[in-house]
Amino acid sequence: MTIEDLTAAMHEFVESKGWYAPDSKRPQTPRNLAISLSLEASEVLEHFQWHDGSLDKAAIAGELADVMLYLLQLASICEIDIGEAVMQKLQTNYGRQWE
């Protein structure tokens, strides 16, 4: 499955819920998507808060999927090729030093 496939499936889902409609109660603006992305990333953290024991992999997978869906949607709405952005960032990071 490609990033393009995932993005298309995400858009199909959002359309099916009517969230792209002008009168949607959940307007899919870059601002709202960035906020949602941050909130979902925080939900991933909840699974690691206060313990280092066994993890509920299914629950974490669901939260990571939510993060990915918002990331794909935000990139798409902002007309950013997320695959290309990742590759460019990796190239930049190869030249960086962390201490």
* Per-residue pLDDT at 53: 79
Q: Encode pLDDT of 30-42 as tens digits.
A: 999 999 999 999 9
pTM of structure: 0.91
The dihedral region occupied by 79, where left means phi > 0, alpha psi between -120 and 50, and beta the remainder, is left
Domains and CATH numbers, the chain: 3-94 (1.10.287.1080)
* Per-residue pLDDT at 47: 92
Q: Encode pLDDT of 40-80 as tens digits.
A: 999 999 999 988 878 899 999 999 999 999 999 999 999 99
Q: How far apart are CA 88 and CA 75, in angstroms?
A: 15
* Per-residue pLDDT at 83: 96
Binned at pLDDT 50, 70 and 90, residue 9 comes out as very high
- Under 8 Å CB-to-CB from 60, ≥6 apart: which residues? 44, 47
Q: At residue 26, does pLDDT exceed 90? A: yes
Short-list 58, 11, 68, 7, CA closest to 36: 68
